[in-house]
Amino acid sequence: MSGREFLAANGVHEALAAAVLEVLHTRPAQPLLAICKFLAAKEAAKREGQAAAAAADLAGGSGPAVSHADRFLLLWRAGASDQTARDELEAILDECPLAGRVIHGELGDPSFGELLSADDWKRASWVFGADALREGFLGLSAREVCLRLGMGQSWLDAKLHGPRPKLFQLCIFPAASVAAERATWAGVARVLESQYPEAWPRVQHHLPTIQSMPFADIQAQAGYDMLGANLAGRDPSTGESPSEHYMSLQRFLRLGPSPSLVQVRQFLWDELGLKGLFRGDGFTYDDHGERGYEEFLACNLRLREIQGAAVVPLSRQDLLST
């Protein structure tokens, strides 16, 4: 067997081509390292599948057991939304209520694919429940799913078209595997008090007013683009940002005991993820004000700690505006 035949037989050309394509899409700071990590992750997934198949054979089965999360993902990716598909979906959710999260990050980021939120500075992650799976996935593209989950068109497009475009993954898991707080204003307060005790007293003073004000009024009071400030991002170690208005935990604490209402609202967006579409009634909303699905806040767990979780990449093409 020639060297070329050896490489072809082991799928080396295809794997390298896929890795290079991802790097061209994402433009990581260290492209060679990103290629190595991509290939290592692919090989690990291949070996995990082989090990599962071997274990199933030893147990007398014909193949690895398919989890409820895997079954859902296979059903959604098939693209059907007819009654047969809906009956199968109901059977899956009746057997095991599921929840999930759309994860975004960069290929070179060591936390991407490891945590519910790829940013390891985040203490909480947004997750959706079974009603989103039941009503907002079958027959829909990845972009349609993201918009129905309340991500917002401007935010999603900025993540896809920015100087360092993001990659997206969909993680599905049994709802019982993750302890989550319903994302009402009361739930947000409990998460802040428990996960951000150093900031909570400074937030607490303004929270009742923020709850009662339309976000458009807070945006008008700010006098700058709050979405733009959020999209400027941060240095994950220092919390510093190109935007003077971006409000990381580090910056927020340096303001002292009496931040302004706008500074608190920007902190809630930049640190906890309360976008401008957030209303605090426990549901997502899209850009047109249409109510979506139940949303929750959970601790930012490692994916391997979530029993029964399944993760698939979301195609960039499926996420782009049509």
| Residue 183, SS3 per DSSP | coil
Rg (CA), the chain: 21
pLDDT tens by residue, 145-197: 999 998 889 999 999 998 888 999 999 999 999 999 999 999 999 999 999 99
Q: Could you tell me whether strands 291-299 and 180-182 are parallel, antiparallel, or unpaired per DSSP bridges? A: antiparallel
Pair 261, 190 in one domain:
yes
Pair 131, 101 in one domain:
yes
Residue-level pLDDT at 44: 44
**What is the average pLDDT value for the chain, to the nearest integer?**
87
Pair 291, 205 in one domain:
no
**Of 303, 297, 306, nearest in space to 124 by CA:** 297
In a domain, 277, yes or no: no
Angle between helices 31-58 and 12-26 (to 10 degrees): 130
Pair 189, 177 in one domain:
no
pTM: 0.74
**Distance, C-alpha 236 to centroid of its chain:** 17
pLDDT tens by residue, 206-220: 999 999 999 999 999
Pair 309, 177 in one domain:
yes
Residue-level pLDDT at 47: 45
Element (H, E) at 254: helix 249-254
Residue-level pLDDT at 165: 87
Residue 103, exposed/middle/buried by CB under 10 A (0-12, 13-18, 19+)? Answer: buried
Whether 11 has a pLDDT exceeding 90, the answer reads: no
pLDDT tens by residue, 258-311: 999 999 999 999 999 999 999 999 999 988 999 999 999 999 999 999 999 999
Residue-level pLDDT at 240: 96
Pair 267, 311 in one domain:
no
Q: What is the mean pLDDT of residues 235-251?
A: 95
Range of the domain at 48: 3-58
Whether 25 has a pLDDT exceeding 70, the answer reads: no
As a whole-number percent, the residues of the chain with pLDDT over 70 amount to 82
In a domain, 63, yes or no: no
Between 7 and 257, the more confident residue is 257
Pair 145, 107 in one domain:
yes
Q: What is the mean pLDDT of residues 113-128?
A: 94
252 band by pLDDT with thresholds 50, 70 and 90: very high
Pair 146, 213 in one domain:
no
Pair 171, 190 in one domain:
no
The answer to whether the beta carbons of residues 296 and 158 sit under 8 Å apart is no
